[in-house]
Structure 1
Amino acid sequence: MGSFKGHVLPGSMFLLVGLWHTLNSITNYVENPKAFRARVWHPVRCFSGKTRCLELYILLVGTFTDMCIEFFYSTHLKFTVNGAINTNHLNDFEHAAMLLMFFLFVIVVLISENTRWLPLPEGSLFVVAAMAFTAEFLLFYFHSTNHHGLEGRYHEILVLLIGLCIVCALLSAAYPENFAADMLSGIALTLQGAWFYMIAFTLYGPLMPDGCSDVRDEIVCIGDSFEVRGEAVAHIQLAALVPCLWVLILVAYGLAAHFWGHPDVFHPPSSEITDFRSGPLDSPMSAEH
């Protein structure tokens, strides 16, 4: 069982970073399609010096703070009981371990991008990001908290979205020049953050489906029909979330192309245009006639 804040806090981080990544990916592409390269993070253009890494600093502080909350505050410093690990807080330990991976990811990016101590080749940072998402995937897949019923369905969808983040990160590592792969990474991250919000407001907030309630830290539905109805609501939420996000992205792409678009965005290079009218004239059959 989780909590409203426990889902809103990480959801906010994933949602904001996902939107930031998607918008920067679009802007970088429309400005110069031929020179486009995927980036695992994006500097703030209006800043200079170290402040250009504002995204990384926010992630660093956010992951560290959330990790400390899970490991120290949520456990009340009761790490062990009679010399053994405190099983009442396994959930908190798992969350802290997951956040540690994202914290280490940010550290690696900062060292690699701003120093000469860790000159990683292109695409390696996406692999590190995929490893962090893999840790998150394994956490929710083999969770000590037994998610079942309606709560289990929401977390099953979350696991699928995390898996999508892993695939997109690996695609960006393999094809850094591919705009679609990089944009999908941002979309997957945004969807994950938005779904954290869906979980928070549905299971721990005012959108709890009829016939279901929180009973002793467990989501319980009156009968199977109410549980099936609640799961259908989850499917509808996901089905509505995806097209809404796509519309926003298409609008953002159109605006970015209008204000900052390179000519190649509107008109492909002449070498890529096929003159179909001259095709038949150049064919062997045409030469015979």
Structure 2
Amino acid sequence: MGGTPRVSIGHILPGVGFVAVGLWHLFNHIKLFSLRPDYYVAPVWFPVPRVRYLELILIIAGSAVEFVMEMFVDHSTFLPFDADGSIPSDRLHNHEHAIICLALVVYAAAALHLDRVRARGRDVLSLLLVAAVFAQELLVFHFHSTDHAGVEGQFHWLLQVIVAACLCTALLGIGFPRSLAVSLARSACVTFHGLWLAVIGAMVWVPSFVPKGCSLVREDGRDTVRCHSKESLHRAKALANLQFGWYLAFMTVFVVALYLYVCNRYPAAAEAAYAPLSKAAADEDECMDARKCDVERGGGGGGGGMHGFTSLEIDV
């Protein structure tokens, strides 16, 4: 089999989208915390100058395109249903993938509308919708109609671990909106999610990347990896686990390096200058209150009046 199958592109392109969103969130969360650490509250999404809702618009557009691809494109018929309205057996996995795309569209569209109408509690509701997306994805991959056995199954099992982490960090963000650790973990998980999707698309469905002792074959109308012996299968699964560990280590180092870079690039100089100014302003208010009391006492007696008058005179 030559070339890159459609199913490979169907994993790599969404993976690139998740990586882009994850990196965008990682950078902005660190920058926001670095500039104002004492006032940090994690947003669910980040506006873009001149095009405020660009992030949400791109999520809607990308998910809608993937939905159309899953439901109508690259099949013998463009209709996702049989003549009697039932779902063909070989199209079940496409409908399941389309549900995830639909959940992303619902989240992004709802978050955009909630922000436009300035709804109360919009951040909490948006995070709940994010959690619903990952819950939907975890449900689909765990009870997938496709038998993810062998090498393909190992890669998808590891994907479920990442999706579960995304779900947990999204729910934690509701209870701990000021926690940078939760925000960093959620953004890193989203980035890792996209990276692992791209890895699956390449390692499972690109013939030149298939592990030694295995090959890409056509079964039940779809491409899948089959190993020629138990030793080859064990080796291929071990390689998948090793790749997961390598990429996890890479992500950890990358997040730490990005954190150090952004904090150095955007120091909290404004906050450091703000604290003494606030203290000076408070001291000045206390002094003004004391002088006011002196003036009021001066209206009732000679000594107090002279003291109050003298203070006012010196100020002038």
Report the TM-score, using the length of structure 1 for normalisation: 0.86
Written as runs of structure 1 = structure 2, the 5 A alignment for 1:110-259 is 110-116=112-118, 118-205=119-206, 206-216=208-218, 217-259=223-265
Q: Which amino acid aligns with 2:116?
A: N
Distance in 2 (CA, whole Å) between partners of 1:115 and 1:177 is 24
Q: 5+ residue gaps in structure 2?
A: 276-316
Root mean square deviation, CA, Å:
2.0
Offset of residue 80 of structure 1: 2.9
Offset of residue 148 of structure 1: 0.5
Q: Report if aligned partners of 2:205, 2:224 keep a CA contact under 8 Å in 1.
A: no
Q: Say which is worse superposed, 80-89 or 192-201, in terms of deviation.
A: 80-89
Written as runs of structure 1 = structure 2, the 5 A alignment for 1:46-57 is 47-48=49-50, 51-57=51-57
Q: Which amino acid aligns with 2:225?
A: I
Distance in 1 (CA, whole Å) between partners of 2:145 and 2:196 is 21
Q: 5+ residue gaps in structure 1?
A: 270-289
Q: Say which is worse superposed, 182-191 or 80-89, in terms of deviation.
A: 80-89
Written as runs of structure 1 = structure 2, the 5 A alignment for 1:35-54 is 35-44=39-48, 47-48=49-50, 51-54=51-54
The answer on 1:89 being equivalent to 2:95 is no
Give 4+ residue runs of structure 1 displaced > 3 Å after superposition.
118-122, 263-266
Distance in 2 (CA, whole Å) between partners of 1:220 and 1:88 is 19
Written as runs of structure 1 = structure 2, the 5 A alignment for 1:52-71 is 52-71=52-71
Q: Which amino acid aligns with 1:257?
A: C
Q: Which amino acid aligns with 2:262?
A: A
Structure 1 pair 36/143, CA: closer, same or farther in 2 (3 Å)?
Answer: same
Which structure has more relative contact order (CA 8 Å, sep 6+)? It is 1
Q: Say which is worse superposed, 68-77 or 243-252, in terms of deviation.
A: 68-77
Q: Report if aligned partners of 1:78, 1:86 keep a CA contact under 8 Å in 2.
A: no
Q: Report if aligned partners of 2:115, 2:122 keep a CA contact under 8 Å in 1.
A: no
Distance in 2 (CA, whole Å) between partners of 1:93 and 1:101 is 12
Give deviations 1:33-90, integer Å, cap 9, x for gaps: 111111111112xx23xx0221111111101111111112145333333513222211
Distance in 1 (CA, whole Å) between partners of 2:81 and 2:247 is 42
Structure 1 pair 126/105, CA: closer, same or farther in 2 (3 Å)?
Answer: same
SS of structure 1 residue aligned to 2:53: helix
SS of structure 2 residue aligned to 1:219: strand
Which of 31, 36, 53 in structure 2 is aligned with 1:32? 36
Distance in 1 (CA, whole Å) between partners of 2:252 and 2:82 is 49
Report the TM-score, using the length of structure 2 for normalisation: 0.79
Q: Report if aligned partners of 2:215, 2:226 keep a CA contact under 8 Å in 1.
A: yes
